[in-house]
Amino acid sequence: MVHYSELGFVNSKEIFKKAIDGGYAIPGYNFNNMEQLQAIIMGCAETNSPVILQVSKGARKYANQTLLRYMAEGAVQMARNDLKSNIPIVLHLDHGDSYELCVSCIEMGFSSVMIDGSHLPYEENIALTKKVVDYAHRYDVSVEGELGVLAGIEEHVSAEKSHYTNPDDVEDFVKRTGVDSLAISIGTSHGAYKFKIKPGETPPPLRFDILEEIEKRIPGFPIVLHGSSSVPQEYVEMCNKYGGKLEGAVGVPEDQLRRAAKSAVCKINIDTDGRLVVTAKIREVFANQPEVFDPRKYLGPAREALKELIKRKNIEVLGSANKA
């Protein structure tokens, strides 16, 4: 067992409180490889933003759980020693699906875990979430729970099927589980195809009425938004121009996220946008410089573009820049 404090991570308690009081949201950025991790840390250090490094079950499988943990520890050292940055860094399990997975992450030095019981019947979600909270809080690790179902990976169904969070449940859920933050469903969904709309149409607005009702029931409690990529059309077009096939990809408009960030929403999860930028850039290099075969020559520009995206998100969308 290694405690996260020995690795230089913090839990989410303080940064969430500051974010709610200050009317901004902390970014939850996912990583699976070195270049993504570098871009996240550099982008957040350069904008002086707190950051939540997110590791999914799939990321642990892809990159190896031990290597990922040491990479995250190395990222803290890089921030402190090389970038001379003191930004708060949280290491967070994204979409934990079992008690055992949460325990394993906590034992490896994670400072925050999500237990996603949103697909379970209500009482089972409570029981599982409470079990994780009881273990995590022994080590001062933060726990994110979820109520309501986002379409996409949580249901393994198509993107239009979601069940909004019922405001009547949130107070009971939070009290009985002891969670530190709550992910809710108000119209976002995972992936690059969030809404089925025709060209020229705008996506339907998020359900701010539900968010406001939830805020009334649990005033000042940290709320999390998953599925918050905006799917920038310039990168969709770049992908498609260089041989990709991403027709109809559309995300949550950034002004909606900016509005949410000013409320009790204090964490906003973004993964798809990063994937899109990296892929668009690599496709561009492959198309324009077919002679290139050194991975640094295409992963480098991809990393740079991702860093710029992250900086822009922190400054213009989340409002987390200069809040470290």
Which residues form the interface with ligand 13P (CB under 6 A)?
A: 30, 94-95, 190-191, 226-229, 269-272
209 flagged as catalytic? no
Residue 183 identity (one-letter amino acid) = A
273 part of the interface to ligand G3H, by CB under 6 A: no
Q: Does 226 participate in binding Zn ion (rule CB under 5 A)?
A: yes
Question: Out of Zn ion, ligand G3H, ligand 13P, none, which partner does residue 270 contact, by CB within 5 to 8 A per kind?
Answer: ligand 13P
Task: Choose between 95 and 307: whose C-beta lies nearer to ligand G3H.
Answer: 95
Which amino acid, 66? Answer: T
C-alpha triplet 144, 160, 309: angle, nearest 5°: 60
95 binds ligand G3H (CB under 6 A): yes
State the nearest-atom distance from the C-beta of 95 to ligand 13P, in Å. 6
Q: Active-site residue among 21, 82, 94, 168?
A: 94
Query: Binding marks (x or -) toward ligand G3H, 160..199, rule CB under 6 A?
Result: ------------------------------x---------
Instruction: Quote the CA–CA distance of 287 and 298 in Å, as a whole number.
Output: 11
- Least Cβ distance, residue 83 to ligand G3H (angstroms): 26
CB of 171 to ligand G3H, least distance (A): 26
Closer residue to ligand G3H in complex, CB, 8/27: 27
The alpha carbon torsion through 24, 29, 35, 40 (nearest 10 deg) reads: 20
Of all residues in the shown chain, the one whose CB is closest to Zn ion is: 226
Cα 130 to Cα 291: distance, rounded to the nearest angstrom: 55
99, two tokens: 């008690």
Q: How many residues does the chain have?
A: 324
DSSP string, 86-126: ---EEEEEEEE-SHHHHHHHHHTT-SEEEE--TTS-HHHHH
Of the candidate spans 52-60, 105-113, 116-124, 259-267, the one that interacts with ligand G3H by CB under 6 A turns out to be: 52-60
For ligand 13P, give the closer residue by CB, 73 or 144: 144
Site string for ligand G3H, 136-155 (x = CB under 6 A): -----------------x--
CA distance to 20, 51, 82, 314, per residue, from 261 (Å): 8, 15, 30, 11
Residues 250/306, Cβ–Cβ less than 8 Å: no
Q: Which 3 state secondary structure label does DSSP give 269?
A: strand
End-to-end CA distance of the chain: 28
Query: Which residues share a beta bridge with 56?
Result: 94
Among residues 120, 25, 117, 40, which one has the least CA distance to residue 76? 40
- The angle that helices 34-46 and 295-312 make with each other, rounded to 10 degrees, is 40
Q: Of 28 and 232, which has the nearer Cβ to Zn ion? A: 28
Q: Give which of ligand 13P, ligand G3H, Zn ion, none residue 38 binds (C-beta under 5 to 8 Å, depending on kind).
A: none
Q: How far is the CB of 139 from ligand G3H (least distance, A)?
A: 24
Residue with tokens 């920038």: 232
In the complex, minimum distance from the CB of residue 289 to ligand 13P, in angstroms, rounded to a whole number:
29
Contact positions vs ligand G3H (CB under 6 A): 30, 56, 58-59, 94-95, 153, 190, 271
Contact positions vs Zn ion (CB under 5 A): 226
Q: Annotated active-site positions, please?
A: 94
